[in-house]
Amino acid sequence: MRSTYGRPLMVGGIIAIIYTVSKMFTDETRSLLFHFSGGLFFAGFILFAIGFFSSMSANGIFRGFKSGFKKQQSQKLRDIDADYTDDEPDEEETSVRVQSARNRTAPYLLSGISCIVFSVLISFFS
- Tell me the C-alpha distance between 43 and 45, whole Å: 5
How does residue 113 score in pLDDT terms, banded at 50, 70 and 90? very high
Measured CA distances, 111 to 10, 22, 88, 98 (Å)? 10, 23, 40, 21
Give the number of residues written for the chain: 126
Angstrom CA distances, 69 to 17, 75, 77, 79, stand at: 44, 10, 12, 15
**99 compared with 13, residue with greater pLDDT:** 13
In this prediction the pTM is: 0.69
At residue 123, what is the residue type?
S
Report domain extents, the chain: 6-125
Tell me the per-residue pLDDT of 88-112, one tens digit each, with 9 for 90 and over. Answer: 655 555 567 667 777 788 888 899 9
67-87 pLDDT, tens digit each: 777 777 777 777 777 766 766
Question: Which pLDDT does position 93 carry in this prediction?
Answer: 53
